[in-house]
Structure 1
Amino acid sequence: MPETHSSRRSIGSAAAHPGSSVRNIGEVLRELAEDFPQVTASKIRFLEEKGLITPQRTRAGYRKYAAHDVERLRFVLALQRDQYLPLKVIKDYVDAIDRGERPESLPGGMTLSPRMVSDQLARELSSHARSLTVETLAAEAGATRRLVDDLVGFGLIAPAAGRFDEHALKITKACVQLESHGIEPRHLRPFRAAADRELGLVERVIAPEASRRDVASKARAAETAREISELCLGLHSALVYSHISRMDS
């Protein structure tokens, strides 16, 4: 859906809308609590430090958040939580909207119309936050129960309290497509091992920051982990495509 000029302001503008009500940080946290119960004042200040939001300041230096600041926070937090996107990628996207550009999608093909942030994010949140039974997982992925059982058996997906998350659904959908090419779950164990090795590498890099107790340090550690993971995925794709490109040369 095309964004209008007013729609771009709803997510991108740092200036307060005339006559709009403002909130202090405590009121913002209460607004976000239902969808993002783990968010803290330190996390919001960290996002400000990274240039994702720019709240107004009173003469005394207190932050005041307008409605569009809260919606922008929802947008950023949802992309972090549900898409595991680094803040740099998210910032580039919202900055493009601020400049009046129309980025069609985020990495991974996810599309969100800024002027529909509230309603559409509500739908996205309900989609990504839900947990799936094994039957629902199989039905939505178009998989057989045997395939799902095999994916669990080979450690490619794992239920929590008997239910699966959105990431398990994405994995299962990919494996359904791979199965049509004769690639079975038993062939995919190296992917699990590679993911574990990558995670180990990331954890070693962020260990000093992650070991600190303050929220800002943990937020920085999580953001660094996302950035490294994104770079690793890009490297993996480049290495594979470089070999594939030689097949028709």
Structure 2
Amino acid sequence: MAAAPLRAVPVGLLSIGQVLAALQDDFADLTPSKLRFLEDQGLVTPERTKSGYRKFSQEHVERVRLVLTLQRDHYLPLKKIAEVLEELDAGRDPVIPGASQRSASTILSSKEVLSSDELCHAAATNKRFLGEAIAAGLLPATEVFPFDAIAQLNALVRLAQAGLTPRHLRSLRVAAEREAEMLAHAVASRGEKQGSPSAVDGSLELVEYLETVRSGVLRRKFGAL
């Protein structure tokens, strides 16, 4: 199989270790070598950094979860699993063979969130630090978290190790809220109804553009130092 092209990897992706931590409770026998095997078989294709390190998105993690579930609970061979994935990639929702009409989407949706314990374990931190991040408004005050919260909490841990604790980053939340209002106004000015699919898609697209601009400014500033 041809190697994945090297390109800039988006912020917020997970390392192999973080993927293992996120899935460990459900798949205790999952190892780095097994993840690499799934990649070799073309069942999951993680991003690659310029140094060649694998990085996984939430979609990659859920794809791995589906593959492992189909192997363990439904005894499907890899060839049949590949066919299920092809159906999903084509926008269809295939029924799992021998699963009493259970579809692939029901498996994908069965574990989309993490408990606070699972999140802290995956990000190699503790509930006290998680509480500090929540108190600063950098993570939602909730009992369950989406998978992308792993990357967010891990980033906060790394920043804290450099002396930038969640308390120091309160201004980041305030700035983000102002930017969200600005983007919402820009979308509304195009006549799109707030909350509609087109408005949501438009807002997310503007968020990506804004992140690109912010990253460029910060990188240039850092270079000037």
**Structure 2 length as normaliser, TM-score?**
0.53
Report the equivalent of 1:134: 116
Please tell me the root mean square deviation across aligned C-alpha atoms, in Å: 3.5
C-alpha change, 1:210 and 1:170, in structure 2 (3 Å) is farther
Q: Distance in 2 between matches of 1:129 and 1:229?
A: 27
Q: Distance in 2 between matches of 1:127 and 1:147?
A: 28
1:163 aligns with 2:144: yes
**Structure 1 length as normaliser, TM-score?**
0.49
Q: Distance in 1 between matches of 2:213 and 2:179?
A: 12
1:210 aligns with 2:189: no
Equivalent residue pairs, number: 144
1:173 aligns with 2:154: yes
Match of 2:144, SS?
A: coil
From 10, 19, 30, give the equivalent of 1:108.
10
| Aligned amino acid, residue 221 of structure 2 | H
1:220 CA displacement: 2.8
Is the contact between residue 137 and residue 169 of structure 1 (CA under 8 Å) also seen in structure 2? yes
Is the contact between residue 130 and residue 166 of structure 1 (CA under 8 Å) also seen in structure 2? yes
Match of 1:132, SS?
A: strand
Q: Distance in 1 between matches of 2:131 and 2:115?
A: 12
1:147 CA displacement: 0.6
C-alpha change, 1:225 and 1:212, in structure 2 (3 Å) is closer
Is the contact between residue 209 and residue 221 of structure 1 (CA under 8 Å) also seen in structure 2? no
**Unaligned 5+ runs, structure 1:** 4-101
Q: Distance in 1 between matches of 2:133 and 2:152?
A: 9
1:238 aligns with 2:216: yes
- CA displacement 1:81-119 (0-9 Å, x = unmatched): xxxxxxxxxxxxxxxxxxxxx544574176989953699
Moved more, 169-178 or 223-232: 223-232
Q: Distance in 2 between matches of 1:202 and 1:180?
A: 32
- CA displacement 1:43-90 (0-9 Å, x = unmatched): xxxxxxxxxxxxxxxxxxxxxxxxxxxxxxxxxxxxxxxxxxxxxxxx
1:124 CA displacement: 6.5
Larger RCO (CA within 8 A; separation ≥ 6): 1
Is the contact between residue 44 and residue 64 of structure 2 (CA under 8 Å) also seen in structure 1? no
Q: Distance in 2 between matches of 1:123 and 1:148?
A: 26
Seq. identity, %: 22
1:122 aligns with 2:63: yes
**Unaligned 5+ runs, structure 2:** 15-38, 46-58, 67-107
1:150 CA displacement: 0.4
Q: Distance in 2 between matches of 1:146 and 1:223?
A: 35
1:155 CA displacement: 0.9
Is the contact between residue 134 and residue 163 of structure 1 (CA under 8 Å) also seen in structure 2? yes
From 141, 161, 183, give the equivalent of 2:164.
183
| Aligned amino acid, residue 214 of structure 2 | H
Compare the two structures and name the one with the higher helix fraction: 1
Q: How does 1:32-43 map to 2 (within 5 A)?
A: none
Q: How does 1:142-157 map to 2 (within 5 A)?
A: 142-157=124-139
